[in-house]
Structure 1
């Protein structure tokens, strides 16, 4: 009997593709890194010449630059992944905390930020891992898109001003050690719940179907990679992919602020919501070939 699981692209297949042909599998992750550097370079050049543009743009200095690079990423999402986003109406006009599942490479989040900025005119401020701020050449990119390391107080202050803030509670740990079974690996982190309670804003859960099929991290010798992460807290697990799979982002209904919530109870509620979204929108285990087929056969998902 035919099942997608019987023909998924597993490690042995990928290893053969790594050598023949090498470009198909190993080049595309590099292209994403190159695009990030190009994005940062464009923004740096824009920053150098921003004074010449001030007469045309009376907003903050990054406004035009953000929209240019957002248009590039939005086009990439549409062309390569047939990217769609559903539930934008669930994002309120005021401040809100967006909580999303972290894929091996969060390319869906780049698409989300670009789409919301271009079509809704709102900037999403991401909370980034501290190692991002140590990567050479990324300063302009992080500054332009308002990426912050974020304390509870600074995040809450930003939300009180009516801004959108995005956090992936699983962070690098979930990105590196998650797999195509789509388990939520948040390790009972409370920080995002403390931020929402402090700012008194709703939480919006976000999940992207097939994000683990676009890029995957190696799960062989997982105990070793877990040990290495605990020692370094750096993304050292090898990643492969760049597959043209169908990506569809689902923005869930808001979980409103409730003064009766403790950080622990709120984390439990949001985690349960995220698990339900994954169960409703993601066939498990994830399958690369099925996800590629969806890219060319499905117009709308769920």
Structure 2
């Protein structure tokens, strides 16, 4: 009798859990259906707010960049000129409004002639997008850039690459770009540095000397480039890094999830130009450039980086002073 009673109790308990589950599901669906009109009613105003801010950005662009854009329309230049100026104006407006973006050391960038820009790669190289836009608008020069091959498999990227001269790049093609008198930007750390760097801002170049060979072959000047708080705007997840590293080493594809989009203060710094020195080997030149870039980082970056302090940097009262200030 005891065993039969226990079995009956088990069946009753199972039935109760079954009913509870479906009753909860029904209640959830009922609540969702009741609240759906209310949710829509509160979300729709945000659409109009978004439209207002889009209108603001368009007018901001027109007010601040109309002369640059109109000149590209009225002059008979290459096919992409107007499109580049328009896109650059959009990116520069976003940089100013969302990150208070500034550039220090723009005078180190030559007005004419070649220069190889070597930059630290954040989780997303949004600072290089901003900087390229600023140079197009202020210097009327286009920065050719080297990007990882995986990007060219992203839908729509080929059109952007065509307009802004982005390519995977080889030593010979990059050297030819510089010999033609252009500006060229390369991040020796590339996707590896983007994925596995952190808020301690260590260079992760893994003995790459390709950029040094480019500089030696083209006899180009090198300009180190770093953006303060670039790791605080976007970050990667910090757990299972060794697991993701093993996968990355096999597939050579960015697989570490990224989060962020925080409106921290971005300030890009152009270091002193490093002139061509025929006595240096690629390894020696790589070390010299790495030291120069590390000096920029140590001088201008709070280490370890902090998202909250990066946000406070937007306000002059809390703005961090450099070590030489």
User: TM over 0.5: same fold?
Assistant: yes
Bigger proportion of residues as helix: 2
Residue 268 of structure 2 aligns with which residue? 249
**2:123 aligned with 1:104:** yes
Contact 1:96/1:204, CA 8 A, preserved across alignment = yes
**2:202 aligned with 1:183:** yes
Q: CA RMSD in A?
A: 1.6
Contact 1:177/1:219, CA 8 A, preserved across alignment = no
What pairs up with 1:1-302 in 2 under 5 angstroms?
Answer: 56-92=74-110, 93-297=112-316, 302=322
Give the whole-Å Cα distance in 2 for the aligned partners of 1:59 and 1:300.
Answer: 43
TM-score, scaled to structure 2:
0.75
Contact 1:244/1:292, CA 8 A, preserved across alignment = yes
**Post-superposition shift, 1:149?**
1.1
**Post-superposition shift, 1:86?**
0.5
Give the whole-Å Cα distance in 1 for the aligned partners of 2:314 and 2:278.
Answer: 43
**Post-superposition shift, 1:282?**
0.4
Give the whole-Å Cα distance in 1 for the aligned partners of 2:152 and 2:215.
Answer: 24
- Report which stretch shifted further, 134-143 or 66-75: 134-143
5+ residue gaps, structure 1, are: 1-53
Contact 1:98/1:205, CA 8 A, preserved across alignment = yes
Contact 2:265/2:310, CA 8 A, preserved across alignment = yes
Contact 2:73/2:82, CA 8 A, preserved across alignment = no
Q: Which of 1 and 2 has higher RCO (CA within 8 Å, sep 6+)?
A: 1
Contact 2:313/2:320, CA 8 A, preserved across alignment = no
Give the whole-Å Cα distance in 2 for the aligned partners of 1:68 and 1:117.
Answer: 10
**Post-superposition shift, 1:55?**
8.1
5+ residue gaps, structure 2, are: 1-71
Give the whole-Å Cα distance in 1 for the aligned partners of 2:157 and 2:231.
Answer: 25
The structure with more radius of gyration: 2
Secondary structure of 2:172's aligned partner: helix
Please list every run of at least 4 consecutive aligned residues from structure 1 whose deviation after the TM superposition is greater than 4 angstroms. Answer: 298-302
TM-score, scaled to structure 1:
0.80
**Post-superposition shift, 1:56?**
3.8
**Post-superposition shift, 1:301?**
5.9
**Post-superposition shift, 1:219?**
2.2
Secondary structure of 2:254's aligned partner: coil
**Post-superposition shift, 1:111?**
0.4
Give the whole-Å Cα distance in 1 for the aligned partners of 2:244 and 2:267.
Answer: 29
Give the whole-Å Cα distance in 1 for the aligned partners of 2:321 and 2:116.
Answer: 25
Give the whole-Å Cα distance in 2 for the aligned partners of 1:55 and 1:247.
Answer: 31
**Post-superposition shift, 1:58?**
1.3
